Chains A and B, each alone.
Chain A
Amino acid sequence: MPMRSEPVTVNVGPQHPSTHGVFRLRITFDGEVILDAEPVFGYLHRGSEKLAEERTYTQVITLTDRLDYVASMTNNQAYVLACEKLAGVQPPERGMYLRVIAAELQRIASHLMATGFLLNDLGAFATPLMYCFRERERILDLFEMLCGARITLSYMRVGGVFQDAPEEFWPALRIFLGEMPHYIDEYERLLSENEILVTRTKGVSVLTVDQALNGSVTGPVLRATGFPWDLRKVDPYEVYGRVKFDVPLGRAGDNYDRFKIRIDEMRQSLRIVEQCVEQIEPGPVRADVPALVRPPVGDAYSRIEGPKGELGFYLVSDGSVAPYRFKIRSPSFINLTVLRDMLIGWKLADMIVTLGSIDINMGEVDR
């Protein structure tokens, strides 16, 4: 005789230890198995897009800091690229190299956070997280040398960067580049072959290429399905055309691939930074751009490969000092749209891990 059971609906979040901020999922469970999942967001909505319409182009940079607050550099970069496209400004070489160095360091920092919190979601009580934070601190120290801030950086400007890197930055960066590969080896050794981690993540919450493409998914989540799509390769911006690097790909599109791909990407980011340090030459870091940028009437869309996926900014100018319209294409938000497909049929414990493996940031989802 089959046992009678009733589905239970649970609100996971917005106050939950593992929803990465104020994210809410209305999940219908049959025992531990997920029957239906409905993401609800908007708890961190701050109206960034509207606020930007009241600020000058330079002031908006500080708003982009607060979108994905663990990857401010790449937000800055995507925004200033859009501004430059709109205003027709060409930044100097050194400025572009500094931007790429900063952006790749930021990618490493963001992936470290993603890996650490994924392991926390897996139930490894804070230890991998603290290990990841140890290296992230080093990167934040480097950022502090560049611009004086650690989280909300506002380092980049329309036409270049805020200032040249100080003398002590380069030796510190070299030391970091020398030590970081060993730390990554350590993660590989401790995590990638851990039987519990593999058992928990391999083959779980598989995302197929078709599902990913239909959902406009980008970034590591898309590449984990085996689809080679990296804007740094496909649509090179700044100096990415001049550096050599590989695009790591997953095969199955499961949680393990999404975890592993981030570790592989950290190695590639280190390669890019190393080449940039070799290629960078002295010179100005910022084009001659007035403090109040007044781009001609028109619109521009610029996109970069952010740590979480394609980060795009769409700007419309009416010829004044403030953008007429400011639209953010945030990868976290769009990657979340496939969450329901990935969750159904899996268990409560997998749900948290899948959410962690997408690596969302609520600041970016709700804007």
Chain B
Amino acid sequence: MAFLEGNALFRNLYCLLAGNSGNAQHCGRDGLLPAGWEWLAFALVGFAITFLLLSAFLLLTMFYTYLERRLLGRFQGRIGPNRAGPFGLLQPVADAIKLLTKESIVPQGADWLLYNLAPLMMVVVMFMVLAVIPFGKHTFIADLNVGVLFIIAVTSVNALAVFMAGIASGNRYALFGGMRAVAQLISYEVPMVLSIVGVLLLAGSLSLVEIVEAQVIPFFLLQPLGLFIFVVSASAEMNRPPFDQLEAESEIVAGYHTEYGGMKFGLFYLAEYAAVLTTSGVIATLFLDGWEGPLLPSHVWFLMKVFFLAFIFIWVRATLPRVRIDQTMAFAWKFLLPLGIINVFMTAAELLLFGHEEAGGQGIVLSTADLWLMSVVNFAVAVVGIGAFSRLVSLRTPALPVSAPKPSAAEVV
């Protein structure tokens, strides 16, 4: 239970139920449950907290879908949804009711089990990430000491879910989407993980709570290149433009979820939008100092950071055209991967250069002045690196050799 100790809500509720009878608890009172029933207290409290978090998160996701559609409307010179409820705020509710009341169809030729399992898998995976994200001071489900590894491991199941949906639908557009998913999602995992390594080196821990606490100055100042790579590869991971190959509407209709309707489609939709929020949450935790911030409560700061990042994702979606699939792949391997490697080695070298061993042998520490120096150096390297690589690596189609001189109109007339 060590990973739950920092969770204030859990401790209080657990005390209420189990009291002093629980081992190693110091509640100073008797619990409601008799001794020997601590396992029930543990299960009940765990369920209650998970339920609370999921409900809050679902509500947040619903609001986010509304926000995205509304903002897209504004970006496009439209109004956006404004009919259901005040300012159209009930639009997601109306959408959910509509999707829930639709008939659940399994197309002929589809693999029944995989077809029905895929949307569930997608959603479950998305929610599992929530377990380790600290939403505020002492507000998380679990403070795993391998939190970052957990996130990376769990989100890569995503590719499997998309591939299952694509294969099981028995539709050729879905198959295209599934094939693209395997290629893209696995490729972008590599630069994404590399970009986190810099953060891990600086923080010296895989626990998300400890990473936030380690941020003397926010890591986006120390890891500008890492942040850039992470944001780009995360937007490819969660299938956002300009890398929305998996469901590229103008090319493969709806990609892997072409054959899905009703709430099964709704689950994909939910997972996709929830992914934006969880990813924003991870970025806020790793790079933007998580919940920390002056004056306002920690939860407010965290939400503000998450929605600021979500806004940027919406902005990008409203602005950029899609990259072709081979260019998407080339971008990951030729552009992001070398930059990620440069970032890792640069951070490691700086730690060797600036860092000094603490007396207690608790790892490497840096003085604040050194950190600011590092920030300046890293920003310079980021600008030069991105600039140099965008000149070195061209994704453009090579021009064909110049053909024969063109006839003039006069000759033809």
Q: Across the interface, do B253 and A349 meet the contact criterion of CB distance under 8 Å? A: no
Q: Across the interface, do B72 and A125 meet the contact criterion of CB distance under 8 Å? A: yes
**Which residues does chain A contribute within 8 Å of B28, judged by CB atoms?**
none
Q: Across the interface, do B321 and A194 meet the contact criterion of CB distance under 8 Å? A: yes
**Which residues does chain A contribute within 8 Å of B406, judged by CB atoms?**
209, 225-227
- With the chains together, A278 CA to B244 CA distance in Å? 49
Given known pairs A18-B251, A203-B400, the reply for A123 and B321 (CB within 8 Å) is: yes
- With the chains together, A102 CA to B76 CA distance in Å? 28
Does B322 have its Cβ within 8 Å of any Cβ on chain A? Answer: yes
Q: Report the nearest A residue to B397, measured CB to CB.
A: A203
Given known pairs A200-B324, A203-B400, A229-B409, the reply for A120 and B76 (CB within 8 Å) is: no
Does A122 have its Cβ within 8 Å of any Cβ on chain B? Answer: yes
Q: Report the nearest A residue to B331, measured CB to CB.
A: A199
Does B249 have its Cβ within 8 Å of any Cβ on chain A? Answer: yes
Q: Across the interface, do A349 and B77 meet the contact criterion of CB distance under 8 Å? A: no
**Which residues does chain A contribute within 8 Å of B287, judged by CB atoms?**
none
Shortest Cβ distance from B14 into chain A, in angstroms?
Answer: 47
**Which residues does chain A contribute within 8 Å of B78, judged by CB atoms?**
130
Q: Across the interface, do A120 and B327 meet the contact criterion of CB distance under 8 Å? A: no
Does B408 have its Cβ within 8 Å of any Cβ on chain A? Answer: yes
**Contact count A vs B, C-beta below 8 Å:** 115
- With the chains together, A213 CA to B411 CA distance in Å? 13
Which one of B259-267, B278-286, B312-320, B335-343 is at the A interface?
B312-320
**Which residues does chain A contribute within 8 Å of B250, judged by CB atoms?**
17-18, 120-123, 352
Q: Which of B242, B249, B250, B317 has the most CB of A within 10 A?
A: B250
Q: Across the interface, do B248 and A130 meet the contact criterion of CB distance under 8 Å? A: no
**Which residues does chain A contribute within 8 Å of B253, judged by CB atoms?**
16-17
Contact of A202 among B251, B318, B326, B396 (CB under 8 A): B396
Does A267 have its Cβ within 8 Å of any Cβ on chain B? Answer: no
Does A127 have its Cβ within 8 Å of any Cβ on chain B? Answer: yes
Does B75 have its Cβ within 8 Å of any Cβ on chain A? Answer: yes
Shortest Cβ distance from B405 into chain A, in angstroms?
Answer: 10
- With the chains together, A120 CA to B249 CA distance in Å? 10
- With the chains together, A198 CA to B176 CA distance in Å? 24
**Which residues does chain B contribute within 8 Å of A31, judged by CB atoms?**
179
**Which residues does chain A contribute within 8 Å of B72, judged by CB atoms?**
125-126
Q: Across the interface, do A227 and B407 meet the contact criterion of CB distance under 8 Å? A: yes
Q: Across the interface, do A202 and B397 meet the contact criterion of CB distance under 8 Å? A: yes
**Which residues does chain A contribute within 8 Å of B395, judged by CB atoms?**
199
Does B325 have its Cβ within 8 Å of any Cβ on chain A? Answer: yes
Task: For chain A, give the interface size range.
Answer: 35 or more
Does A1 have its Cβ within 8 Å of any Cβ on chain B? Answer: no
- With the chains together, A32 CA to B397 CA distance in Å? 16
Does B13 have its Cβ within 8 Å of any Cβ on chain A? Answer: no
Residues in B24-66 with C-beta less than 8 Å from chain A: none
Does B102 have its Cβ within 8 Å of any Cβ on chain A? Answer: no
Q: Across the interface, do A349 and B400 meet the contact criterion of CB distance under 8 Å? A: no
Shortest Cβ distance from B129 into chain A, in angstroms?
Answer: 26
Given known pairs A8-B172, A196-B242, A209-B407, the reply for A349 and B397 (CB within 8 Å) is: no
Given known pairs A17-B250, A125-B72, A130-B78, the reply for A349 and B324 (CB within 8 Å) is: yes
Contact of A130 among B76, B176, B317 (CB under 8 A): B76
**Which residues does chain B contribute within 8 Å of A204, judged by CB atoms?**
397
Given known pairs A18-B251, A196-B242, the reply for A125 and B317 (CB within 8 Å) is: yes
- With the chains together, A209 CA to B403 CA distance in Å? 9
Q: Across the interface, do B403 and A347 meet the contact criterion of CB distance under 8 Å? A: no
Task: For chain B, give the interface size range.
Answer: 35 or more
**Which residues does chain B contribute within 8 Å of A120, judged by CB atoms?**
250
Q: Across the interface, do B325 and A347 meet the contact criterion of CB distance under 8 Å? A: yes
**Which residues does chain A contribute within 8 Å of B230, judged by CB atoms?**
none
Given known pairs A10-B172, A120-B250, A350-B324, the reply for A203 and B398 (CB within 8 Å) is: yes
Does A124 have its Cβ within 8 Å of any Cβ on chain B? Answer: yes
Q: Report the nearest B residue to A208, measured CB to CB.
A: B403
Q: Across the interface, do A32 and B325 meet the contact criterion of CB distance under 8 Å? A: yes
Q: Across the interface, do A122 and B322 meet the contact criterion of CB distance under 8 Å? A: yes
- With the chains together, A226 CA to B93 CA distance in Å? 54
Does B173 have its Cβ within 8 Å of any Cβ on chain A? Answer: yes
Given known pairs A17-B253, A229-B409, the reply for A123 and B325 (CB within 8 Å) is: no
Does A134 have its Cβ within 8 Å of any Cβ on chain B? Answer: yes
Residues in B206-248 with C-beta less than 8 Å from chain A: 241-242, 244, 248
Complex interface bits, A84-125 against B, C-beta within 8 A gives 1, otherwise 0: 000000000000000000000000000000000001111111
Residues in A20-44 with C-beta less than 8 Å from chain B: 31-32
Does B323 have its Cβ within 8 Å of any Cβ on chain A? Answer: yes
Does B96 have its Cβ within 8 Å of any Cβ on chain A? Answer: no
Does B399 have its Cβ within 8 Å of any Cβ on chain A? Answer: yes
Does B200 have its Cβ within 8 Å of any Cβ on chain A? Answer: no
Residues in B362-413 with C-beta less than 8 Å from chain A: 395-400, 403, 406-409, 412-413
- With the chains together, A347 CA to B328 CA distance in Å? 13
Q: Across the interface, do B317 and A203 meet the contact criterion of CB distance under 8 Å? A: no
Does B90 have its Cβ within 8 Å of any Cβ on chain A? Answer: no
- With the chains together, A228 CA to B412 CA distance in Å? 10
Q: Across the interface, do B77 and A32 meet the contact criterion of CB distance under 8 Å? A: no
Contact of B248 among A123, A129, A134, A252 (CB under 8 A): A123
Q: Report the nearest B residue to A120, measured CB to CB.
A: B250
Does B252 have its Cβ within 8 Å of any Cβ on chain A? Answer: yes
- With the chains together, A300 CA to B396 CA distance in Å? 48
- With the chains together, A342 CA to B297 CA distance in Å? 60
- With the chains together, A228 CA to B252 CA distance in Å? 36
Q: Which of B175, B248, B413 has the most CB of A within 10 A?
A: B248
Residues of B with Cβ closer than 8 Å to A?
A: 72, 75-78, 172-173, 175-176, 179, 241-242, 244, 248-253, 317-327, 395-400, 403, 406-409, 412-413
Across the A-B interface, the 6 shortest Cβ-Cβ residue pairs: A123-B322, A203-B397, A122-B321, A130-B76, A124-B321, A18-B250
Residues of A with Cβ closer than 8 Å to B?
A: 8, 10, 16-18, 31-32, 119-127, 129-131, 134, 194, 196-200, 202-204, 206, 208-209, 213, 225-229, 233-234, 252, 347-350, 352
- 26 examples of A-B residue contacts, CB within 8 angstroms: A8-B175, A18-B249, A31-B179, A123-B248, A124-B321, A127-B318, A127-B319, A134-B77, A194-B321, A196-B320, A199-B323, A200-B321, A202-B396, A202-B397, A208-B403, A209-B406, A226-B406, A227-B406, A252-B399, A347-B324, A347-B325, A347-B326, A348-B251, A349-B248, A349-B322, A349-B325
Known A196-B242, A202-B396, A228-B409; further 4 A-B contacts with Cβ < 8 A: A18-B250, A123-B241, A199-B324, A199-B395
